[in-house]
Amino acid sequence: MQIRALMLLWVVALAGCQPSGQAGGESDPARKAAEAAEAAERAQLETLASQIAADRDAVAGFEVLHAGYGHGPDPRSGQSVPTIKVALANGSPVTVTRVSLHVRLANEGGGAPWLDQVFDVPLSAPLAPGAGDAVTMTPTGDSDWALKAPPEGVPVRVRVQALALRTPEGRELLTEHAMDDLQRERLDALRAASR
């Protein structure tokens, strides 16, 4: 009886060890899942790169002229709060009603940014081709920006880039900054791997 049980376990063990195709072949679910994830990632990055290329002429000439950081009165409470002032120039051929701005703030002495965030900013009036505007941004009291901001008087390094422009018709146009260097490198690597 024990020999029959051992024989049965041995047969089951052998059956479990039998190859079900080539090693690393199409029957490997983990490999299939990884390939599917890479294909989806590549498709997403290709779509982003295509839209940036398609929108290039429409957004050409839209610029962030200057971005400055300081403290100023909160329009809601009047208290002194961190403030970013951004000067925009619309040299593009489209009218812009909103702009997505990627803001990075770091202490002047160096180190990693203490704020790295995208803001969707409505403009006070549609910004026609050839026009300029100034935008003032202040944080809400419970935001990361308000909580992490250094005290007034501490010098802050500011970097602001326009990622996307929105037209009065609701069309969103992407700038070259909508894809960062890491995304470009990843897309190049995925393209090279599929050759």
Sign of CA dihedral 124, 100, 159, 52: negative
CATH assignment of 60-183? Answer: 2.60.40
**pLDDT tens digits along 22-52:** 444 456 888 888 888 888 998 999 999 999 9
- How many whole angstroms separate alpha carbon 136 and alpha carbon 60? 23
pLDDT in tens, the chain (195 residues): 433 433 333 333 334 444 444 444 456 888 888 888 888 998 999 999 999 999 999 999 999 999 999 998 877 777 888 999 999 999 999 999 999 999 999 998 878 999 999 999 999 999 999 999 999 999 887 888 888 999 888 899 999 999 999 999 999 999 999 999 899 999 899 889 887
Query: How many other β-carbons are positioned within 10 Å of the β-carbon of residue 70?
Result: 14
Classify residue 21 as left (phi > 0), alpha (psi -120 to 50) or beta. left
Beta strands in the chain (DSSP E): 62-73, 80-90, 96-107, 115-127, 132-137, 156-166, 172-174
| Confidence (pTM) | 0.78
Domain coordinates in residue numbering, the chain = 60-183
CA angle 132, 98, 91 (to 5 degrees): 35
Does residue 64 contact residue 101 with C-beta atoms inside 8 Å? Answer: yes
